[in-house]
Amino acid sequence: MTPNNNHWTVENGDLLNTQGGANLKSTRSFEDFQLHFEVNCPADGNSGIYLRGRYELQIEYQDVDANDPFHSIGAIYSFVAPTKMLPRTPGKWETFDVTLVGRRISIVRNGTKTVDNQEIPGPTGGALDSNEGAPGQFYIQGDHTGGLRYRNITIRVPKHS
């Protein structure tokens, strides 16, 4: 990543991607976890959060007919579609609570479970690597469109005895 390609900034406590450019990657790697975040995606916005750097949780509000359920907001890109579609709310804050254990994922969007303990069959396009048995980093896509805001990102990991 070159500094000229980084369009991420902090504005009023929000992580904001002002225009398409660099992706953000965590320095820490994770195994099983619970992720909470809030996102404000504008109309025509497109981004995603890569879980362990391998599984893209799609964030988008493109034209209504632009994407099927496997490529819509809250899907694991190309592999796991939400079982319940929620109203589109471009430009408003939404919450996501994601639990990933092994390759099994549950997603709660705005308090509604939209994916319930589904298995992800493999890495999605854009994955950092294909080593699914190893811990991995998070990364937030910044290379598509700008205007997306993220806040209140927290990660909980289980305590091992």
Is residue 4 classed as helix, strand or coil in its secondary structure? helix
Q: Is residue 17 part of a domain?
A: no
Asked whether the predicted pLDDT for residue 161 surpasses 60, the reply is: no
CATH number at residue 88: 2.60.120.560
| pLDDT value at residue 3 | 56
| pLDDT value at residue 159 | 83
Domain that holds residue 124: 27-156
Side-chain-facing half-sphere of 102: CA atoms under 13 Å: 5
Q: Is residue 104 part of a domain?
A: yes
| pLDDT value at residue 158 | 87
The answer to whether residues 21 and 5 touch, using CB atoms and an 8 Å cutoff, is: yes
Q: Is residue 7 part of a domain?
A: no
* CA 6/CA 97 separation, integer angstroms: 27
Q: Is residue 12 part of a domain?
A: no
| pLDDT value at residue 32 | 97
| pLDDT value at residue 7 | 92
| pLDDT value at residue 60 | 96
* CA 142/CA 147 separation, integer angstroms: 10
Partner residues linked to 148 by β-bridges:
17
Q: Which residue has the tokens 């929620």?
A: 86
Q: Is residue 117 part of a domain?
A: yes
* Range 114-120 average pLDDT: 98
Q: Provide the number of structural domains found in the chain.
A: 1
Asked whether the predicted pLDDT for residue 64 surpasses 90, the reply is: no
Is residue 82 classed as helix, strand or coil in its secondary structure? coil
Q: Is residue 19 part of a domain?
A: no
Q: Is residue 1 part of a domain?
A: no
Asked whether the predicted pLDDT for residue 56 surpasses 50, the reply is: yes
Taken as a whole, the chain contains a residue count of 161
Asked whether the predicted pLDDT for residue 135 surpasses 80, the reply is: yes
pTM of the predicted protein model: 0.93
| pLDDT value at residue 55 | 98
Q: Is residue 20 part of a domain?
A: no
| pLDDT value at residue 91 | 97
Side-chain-facing half-sphere of 155: CA atoms under 13 Å: 14
